[in-house]
């Protein structure tokens, strides 16, 4: 029976120091303390990234053939074992082909980071487009949404345009996770979106109405409404460490999610949007932030090192919490019965050193 040991093993009940994880191959059968020798590393659940537009030089919107194997390797190198390929704003007739390619990639056999489903970040956004082309942002099209193929896990919409609440409710009825984002909504409009069924806010603080003492906006809603989780880009560029800490302090433990919002920065493109990396983050030529070059293991390390967040909370924000939002109760935690999706992190830097998917090592 395969046994993995480490000086620290992060479990839902706390950190074992040292500990072991035993598997029967695909599933975890035992997690517990050990008195034997253990490598100086940290074992955590496989990480789950809800927002990946691309990585390095591979853009999800145009990925085909061997591009998917490269994405597999780049994700596994971060400790990611489940992810959502993300498509940004485009004309409605431009989504069918990339969605078909994502579905084909998800159906490939073998041990690899699992595609939970696509994330559509647009085009049904609002008054804070960020890097999304404003001329392509449109009100929600209910018929188009009803005709979407299976395999859509997550859709980001803004709550303030006409028809947004109906679109949110329609998506929720299909079992799709709805997130609010790229929005200039008032706090009341944001709460109406939550009332309609939204359970997440996309990249909190970025692309949304800020917190004013008389107009709390989207940020006021995400910080005070425990019905919604908030995703955060913790590259320390998109959001100041103090603001990241505020979110972790305000939200319940299971309502914070770390994402990368990574893009093919080396290729200089995300979907139909051109970008450049200025040494801090990918941006439009006018300086507008356009995704990140972040890895999810680095996001975990950043909030631990700079935001006063415990290792347990940081790991949960990158594993258990996003898995739960997607309804994937078979992963996201090191406990018996779960899939043996596991990452081994460096004891000090928390950089991913090895990754297992369903008990099979895919990195390290």
Q: Spell out the domain ranges in the chain.
A: 3-43+347-363, 47-329
Distance of CA 274 to the CA centre of its chain: 22
Q: Are 291 and 130 in contact (CB under 8 A)?
A: no
Q: Catalytic residue among 261, 278, 297, 341, which?
A: 261
* pLDDT value, residue 272: 84
Which tokens belong to 2? 């395969």
- Burial of 347 from C-beta contacts in 10 A (0-12 / 13-18 / 19+): middle
CATH node for 47-329: 3.20.20.140
Map tokens 């498509």 to a residue.
87
* pLDDT value, residue 25: 85
**Residue 185 CB partners (closer than 8 Å, separation 6+):** 126, 127, 158, 159, 160, 193, 208, 209, 217, 218, 221
Radius of gyration of the CA atoms of the chain, in A? 19
User: How many CA atoms lie less than 13 Å away from 305 in the CB half-sphere?
Assistant: 13
* pLDDT value, residue 19: 97
- Strand partners of residue 16: 9
Tell me the three state secondary structure of residue 177. Answer: strand
Global pTM? 0.97
* pLDDT value, residue 135: 96
Q: What is the 3-state secondary structure (H, E, C) of 290-316?
A: CCECCCHHHHHHHHHHHCCCCHHHHHH
| Integer Cα distance of 323 and 293 in angstroms | 22
* pLDDT value, residue 36: 83
| Integer Cα distance of 62 and 50 in angstroms | 19
195 an active-site residue? no
- Strand partners of residue 262: 52, 292
* pLDDT value, residue 8: 98
What are the pLDDT tens digits along the chain (364 aa)?
A: 589 999 999 999 999 999 999 999 899 999 999 998 899 999 999 999 999 999 999 999 999 999 999 999 999 999 999 999 999 999 999 999 999 999 999 999 999 999 999 999 999 999 999 999 999 999 999 999 999 999 999 999 999 999 999 999 999 999 999 999 999 999 999 999 999 999 999 999 999 999 999 999 999 999 999 999 999 999 999 999 999 999 999 999 999 999 999 999 999 888 888 999 999 999 999 999 999 999 999 999 999 999 999 999 999 999 999 999 999 999 999 999 999 999 999 999 999 999 999 999 999 9
Region for 308 from its dihedrals, namely left if φ exceeds 0, alpha if ψ lies in -120 to 50, beta otherwise: left
* pLDDT value, residue 2: 80
Region for 204 from its dihedrals, namely left if φ exceeds 0, alpha if ψ lies in -120 to 50, beta otherwise: beta
Which tokens belong to 236? 């320390």
| Integer Cα distance of 69 and 53 in angstroms | 15
Neighbours of 113 (CB within 10 A): 27
């Amino acid at each position: 029976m395969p046994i993995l040991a480490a000086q620290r093993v992060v479990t839902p009940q706390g950190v074992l120091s040292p500990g072991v994880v035993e598997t029967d191959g695909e599933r975890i059968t035992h997690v517990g303390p050990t008195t034997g020798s253990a490598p100086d590393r940290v074992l955590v659940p496989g990480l789950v990234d809800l927002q990946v537009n691309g990585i390095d030089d591979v853009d999800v919107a145009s990925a085909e053939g061997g591009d998917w194997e490269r994405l597999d390797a780049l994700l596994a190198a971060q400790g990611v074992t489940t992810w959502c390929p993300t498509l940004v704003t485009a004309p409605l007739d431009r989504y069918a082909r990339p969605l078909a390619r994502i579905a084909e990639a998800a159906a490939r056999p073998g041990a690899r980071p699992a595609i939970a489903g696509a994330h559509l970040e647009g085009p049904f956004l609002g008054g804070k487009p960020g890097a999304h082309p404003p001329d392509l942002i449109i009100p929600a099209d209910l018929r188009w949404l009803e005709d979407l193929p299976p395999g859509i896990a997550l859709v980001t919409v803004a709550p303030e345009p006409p028809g947004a609440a109906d679109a949110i409710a329609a998506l929720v009825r299909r079992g799709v996770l709805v997130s609010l984002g790229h929005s200039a909504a008032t706090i009341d409009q944001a709460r109406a979106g939550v009332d309609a069924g939204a359970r997440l806010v996309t990249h909190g603080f970025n692309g949304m109405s800020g917190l004013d003492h008389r107009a709390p906006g989207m940020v006021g809603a995400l910080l005070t409404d425990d019905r919604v989780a908030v995703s955060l880009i913790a590259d320390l560029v998109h959001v100041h460490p103090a603001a990241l800490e505020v979110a972790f302090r305000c939200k319940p433990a299971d309502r914070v999610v770390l994402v990368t919002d990574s893009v093919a920065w080396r290729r200089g493109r995300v979907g139909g949007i051109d970008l450049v990396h200025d040494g801090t983050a990918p941006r439009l030529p006018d300086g507008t932030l356009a995704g990140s070059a972040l890895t999810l293991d680095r996001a975990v390390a950043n909030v631990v090192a700079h935001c006063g967040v415990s290792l347990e909370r940081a790991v949960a924000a990158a594993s258990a919490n996003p898995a739960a939002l997607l309804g994937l109760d078979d992963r996201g935690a090191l406990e018996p019965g779960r899939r043996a999706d596991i990452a081994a992190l460096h004891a000090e830097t928390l950089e991913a050193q090895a990754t297992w998917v369903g008990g099979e090592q895919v990195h390290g």
